[in-house]
Structure 1
Amino acid sequence: MTRKLAGFAEDDLRALAGDRSFTRGLGYLDAVSGLEVGEGSVTAVVHGTDAYEVELTLGDGDGISGWCDCPYGQEGNFCKHCVAVGLTVLRRAEAIPRQRAAARARTSGLEAWLAALSRDELLALVRERLAEDRTLRRRLELRAATARSDLHAVRDRVLALIDPRPFARYGYIEYADAPGYAQQIAEAASALSALTAGGGAAQAVGLAEEALRVLAEAYEEMDDSDGVVGEAAAAVAEAHVKACKVARPDPHRLAEWLVGHMLGDDSGVPDLDPLDYAEVLGPAGLSRMRQLAAEAKRRRPSGWAERYLMECLVKAAGDVDELVELYAQDLHPSGATHLRIAEELESAGRADEALAWAERGLRDCAAEAHIDGRLVDHVCVHYARAGRTADVVALRRDRFHVEQSLAAYRQLRSAAQAAHCWEAERVAALAALKADARRERGSRYGGTLLIDALLDDGDLDAAWKEAAGRAHDGQWEQLADLSRETRPAEALTVYLRLAESAKEPTGDRAYERLARLLLGARDCHRALGTEAVFTEYLVGLRTELKRRRKLMTVLERHGL
């Protein structure tokens, strides 16, 4: 019935968010406020690290989708805040059809009222809104100036939109103010595109360059952690490219401006690509850029911007050998540059040379613990295609002994299984890990890599033998989770010990972990036929922690 009323169910939210975000969303049910049901959507505010705006779209028969302005949500994910709003809607499912019908009625009534207004009445309404809403007034002023080709007014409005000062409290644009500034930059980009479309492409070129200079300077003094300002600035750069393609400015002047912008002190945002301008620059402009870039690189051989610009121009010329020579001047110790050379040669159809460069990278970086994994993968793929499975195993073995990581162990296992020699390789690998464990060299989590490897192999008997005195809490919990059906008594001991230490921390994450441990303990008691003992333990625990009302809510939700 819930699905029919609200258009979705809890399973839909879990499928969209994933188990982790869904579980975290459960802890935000009390943080949802301002829930408003529209004809086809629901909006609300969820209070977390900040106050986040959430919008869920309720499609008739098409399920549900969601948007949130938190960093994770802006990446296109159905986040924990979306889950919290969705669950709140489900709690009020009985009222949803009535509220959606009321929203439809309001929309229909508004449209009918607007349609009935005369031209003068509509103008009066718009003027009233313009007097109240400065943002709307700015937008319409800009549209009007663009429509009548008032270049002076367009310039004033565009520069006003990208002016960072109204957003820079204390001289710095803070994280919370960046989205508002980004919105104005996007409006400026739209105005520049409209100016080009309206026959003012030459003016749009100059105005866009002025805007890009202001944006590059402003970007040094802001927190754009979510990249919203950078994305909006990229739209201004795109408007500049479009204007150049229409106006066809002097190639030499454009080349000099591009080099000056890309190598200037404020060249961080937006990141211009000279290849976007190749059509406008033509051979003469590209040649001028090559000349300027070469001079700049001679002045600062190690400069990142100078090297990047030169790489772009060499790529544009299509000379693979020159590009390889350029890359070879600065080989990174991780092997990343060797890989780039190999990829360029392979794209040019020179597979043998590509493999030779990749193998050289492995030799040059053999002693590095943090070699670029893509380089190793690249060589292994080529070896596998050639049927050189023994070479794949040897390479993965060498990297495992240098890196000593779970990822390297898994890669060795996969290669050895494909070559049908994992049994022997595993004995040698585990022997190395045992020797490492005896030297008390832990993994990045604190426990030994040996236990991680045994757990990953599913060798629980060996993992239990090695865990004492070596495993960290996360490894103990994983071992208990994997063993509660086959070793319920031993797993129970682990769960109870971890639960005892988990009683002290507070907060949603800590309470969810404690509940998870208690659920594991309950499963062990059921397997042992001692459920009454668990019930007595749980009653004592709830009595001890009864003042933590949020914890009690979490336990109840998990049936504890």
Structure 2
Amino acid sequence: MARKVAGFDEDDLRALAGARSFERGLGYLDAVSGLEVGEGSVTAVVHGTDVYEVELTLGAAEGISGWCNCPYGQEANFCKHCVAVGLTVLRRAKTIPRQRAAARARVSGLEAWLSALPRDELLALVREQVAEDRELRRRLELRAATARSDLSTVRDRIIALIDPRPFARYGYIEYADASGYARQVAEAASALRALTADGQAAQAVGLAEEAIRVLGEAYGEIDDSDGVVGEAAAAVAEAHLGACGVACPDPARLAEWLVGTVLDDSNDVTDLDPLDYAEVLGPSGLARMRQLAAEALRRRPSGWAERYLMERLVKAEGDVDALVAVHAQDLDPSGATHLLIAEELETAGRADEALAWAERGLRDCAAETYIDGRLVEHVCVQYAKMGRAADAVTVRRDRFRVERSLAAYQQLRSAARAAECWEAERVAALAALREDARRERGGRYGGPVLIDALLDDGDADAAWREAEGIADGRQWEHLADLSRETHPAEALAVYLRLVERLKEPTGDRAYEHLARLLLGARDCHRALGTQEAYTEHLAGLRAELKRRRKLMSILDRYGL
């Protein structure tokens, strides 16, 4: 087993990149230059179609991860350039420990030097860096303004930090720039927390709300595949909650802001939960929020956000009747909402009402081709618990009349067997499926459900009688598979007919299918004692299709 260097080996690189990128990375070993080994990372450039920057992050527990500014790498992939740099590190295994030790020494030395600098020299160094690094200057200006409670400057700096335009080179923030933008948003969150700590919580509340608005408007134009901007925005939302806890803003105004933000279709960057603010809102704020949510739901009864908010509020209050009323305003035609209401009532210990709602769902949706299967199952389970097996059969029969699928047939069979009435139900169900077949109502896979039902019952004889002229190839093959021992001649005829159909299609899937059919035909010939005819047929088939080398190899693998 290969020894790991810096916590990884070639197998790790192959697993991260995939076989194709790994193999392509081998061709870029001579294109790696400027390799710099740090304590926890490695950076380098790789010369390809362009010059690409690569950074590998090395963690003992987390393993290795990579970033590259090539187009494929910017889509969060471990690209061939990352592979090339990783392989270069492995090929320099003997020098890596020394280089990482040197990196640690440099960090330690820098820390010691900075700590020993006189104040004037340290200030001069900071001023020099601030003059050269605009991002650093902005961060320090924000911290300085926060420290002296210069609210005008703090606001300007926070708004500048969350402004996406400097990162949106083409009108949106690309994956490669998202982490830089996220760092600035996180810096803004830190500034908001500092404002609260410095006794300016009310100002922090207002600034946080403005920041959340800007982030919400910008988020749709950000490639946040790694979720780093979302995490930073969540930190801004947490800073807002913390500031509210200290400032205790007007409950009604806070409720209005929360409802407006949660229901704003353009603001999906922060997953605000209004109930996190329950203590700050108090009874009056919660009442105002519920009032606003109810008004919003009346304006847009089918609105997902409106309904979800109202459900959260009434559920938190433990008001089951109000929750039922919210759900009942927009009943899904599949019966899913009826089931949701039934489950809420059952959880509340109101079993009779729960069953009544579930039964209402079956009545309301009786004519629908699709009904939520969980609702039907829920009612049948409740009937079984109550010893109402006949009622369960009625439910399954009603659904079978509408749906006419193999699954509905199987469910009817299960319920009828439990009620000891399957024989009579089966006669009626098969008669209905026979009429469907006559009218050419096909099954899910093309052939009539009648044949699938008979095959599922294991009634091969009846399936043979019904199949002629209506069964599709899949059903014929299934029938032959079931019957090759009991009806080898009939099964053989099916296999040979299907083999003829598969002479034209190409590809591994078709060839594997052809081999399975030939195996079935071989079993039939053995049962009939006609192995010579099989050998002759197979030889002719191989001669006819001999140019298909992949088919020949597959037949060889099956011993055909």
TM-score range, shorter chain: 0.5 to 0.7
Secondary structure of the residue that 1:368 maps to in structure 2? coil
Aligned to 1:540: 543
The code of the aligned residue for 1:520 comes to L
Post-superposition offset of 1:219: 6.1
Q: 1:518 to 1:214 in 2, by over 3 A?
A: farther
Q: Compute the displacement of 1:273 (Å).
A: 3.8
Partners of 2:192 and 2:208 within 8 A in 1 = no
Equivalent position of 1:296 in the other structure: 296
Query: What SS is found at the alignment partner of 1:453?
Result: helix
Of structures 1 and 2, the larger Rg is shown by 2
- Residues 277-318 of structure 1 deviation map (CA, whole Å, 9 limit, x = unaligned): 434433333223223223333444454433333232222322
2:96 to 110, 120, 135: 110
How many angstroms apart in 2 are the aligned matches of 1:484 and 1:138? 81
1:518 match? 515
Q: Which shows bigger deviation, 240-249 or 333-342?
A: 240-249
CA, structure 1 residues 188+439, in 2 after alignment: closer, same or farther (shift >3 Å)?
A: farther
- Where structure 2 has 5 or more consecutive residues not aligned to the other structure, the ranges are 3-8, 25-64, 66-85, 112-132, 148-153
**Distance of 2:271 and 2:384 partners within structure 1:** 38
Matched, 1:440 2:440: yes
Q: Does 1:242 align with 2:246?
A: no
**Aligned residues: CA RMSD:** 4.7
Q: Secondary structure at the match of 2:17?
A: strand
Instruction: Describe the superposition over 1:127-185 as per-residue Cα deviations: whole angstroms up to 9, x where unpaired.
Output: xxxxxxxxxx999999999999897898478636798834xx6x689xxx7x6677677
Task: Report the CA distance shift for 1:40/1:181 in structure 2 as closer, same or farther (over 3 A).
Answer: closer
**Aligned pair count?**
452
The equivalent of 2:260 in structure 1 is 260
For residues 290-369 of structure 1, the aligned pairs below 5 Å read 290-369=290-369
CA contact (8 A) 1:161 1:184 kept: no
Amino acid at match of 1:465: R
Q: What is the CA deviation profile of residues 82-103 of structure 1, one whole-angstrom value per residue up to 9, with x for unaligned ones? A: xxxxxxxxxxxxxxxxxx9998
Aligned residue for 1:395, secondary structure, equals helix
1:44 equivalent to 2:41? Answer: no
Q: CA deviation at 1:365?
A: 2.0
| One-letter amino acid matched to 1:345 | L
* Structure 1 Cα separation of the partners of residues 160 and 280 of structure 2: 28
Amino acid at match of 1:278: A
TM value normalised by structure 1:
0.65
Aligned-partner SS, 2:18: strand
Matched position secondary structure for 2:378: helix
Q: What is the deviation of 1:464?
A: 2.7
Q: Look up the equivalent residue of 1:315 and give its one-letter code.
A: K
Report the counterpart of residue 119 of structure 1 in structure 2: 106
474-483 or 403-412, which deviates more: 474-483
Kindly provide the amino acid, as one letter, of the partner of residue 235 in structure 2.
Answer: A
Asked if structure 2 preserves the Cα contact closer than 8 Å seen for 1:255 and 1:285, the reply is yes
Distance 1:558 1:141 in 2: 73
Q: Is the 8 A contact 2:495 2:521 kept in 1?
A: no
Q: Read off the aligned partner of 1:410 and give its amino acid letter.
A: Q
Q: Which 5+ residue runs of structure 1 have no aligned equivalent? A: 6-35, 52-66, 68-99, 125-136
Deviation at 1:433, TM superposition (A): 0.9
d(CA) in 1 for partners of 2:513 and 2:426?
33
Which residue number in structure 1 is paired with residue 421 of structure 2? 421
Contact 1:454 1:462 in 2 (8 A): yes
Cα distance in 1 between the residues matched to 2:396 and 2:253:
53
Q: Cα–Cα, structure 1 residues 411 and 238, in superposed 2: closer, same or farther, change >3 Å? A: farther
Corresponding residue for 1:402?
402
* Contact 2:542–2:552, Cα closer than 8 Å, also in 1: no
Q: Distance in 2 between matches of 1:374 and 1:490?
A: 41
Q: Matches of 2:359 and 2:493 in 1, distance apart? A: 50
Q: Identify if the C-alpha distance between structure 1 residues 218 and 418 changes in structure 2 by more than 3 Å, giving closer, same or farther.
A: farther
Q: State the AA in 1 paired with 2:525.
A: L
| Aligned equivalents of 1:516, 1:153: Cα separation in 2 | 69
CA drift of 1:195 comes to 6.4
The equivalent of 2:469 in structure 1 is 469
Q: Do 2:345 and 2:354's aligned partners in 1 also have CA atoms closer than 8 Å? A: yes
Q: What's the offset of the Cα at 1:553?
A: 6.7
Distance in 2, Cα, partners of 1:139 & 1:416:
74
Alignment of 1:2-401 (within 5 A): 37-38=10-11, 42-45=15-18, 109-117=95-103, 118-119=105-106, 155=158, 159=162, 165-166=168-169, 212-213=212-213, 216-217=216-217, 228=225, 235=231, 238-247=234-243, 248=245, 250=249, 251-267=251-267, 272-401=272-401
Q: Which amino acid aligns with 1:289?
A: M
Report deviation, 1:356.
1.3
Deviation at 1:371, TM superposition (A): 1.9
Deviation string, structure 1 residues 485-504 (Cα, Å, up to 9, x no partner): 55455444444444444454
Paired with 1:481 and 1:425, the residues of 2 have a C-alpha distance of 27
CA distance in 1, matches of 2:453, 2:102: 74
| 1:257 Cα deviation after fit | 2.6
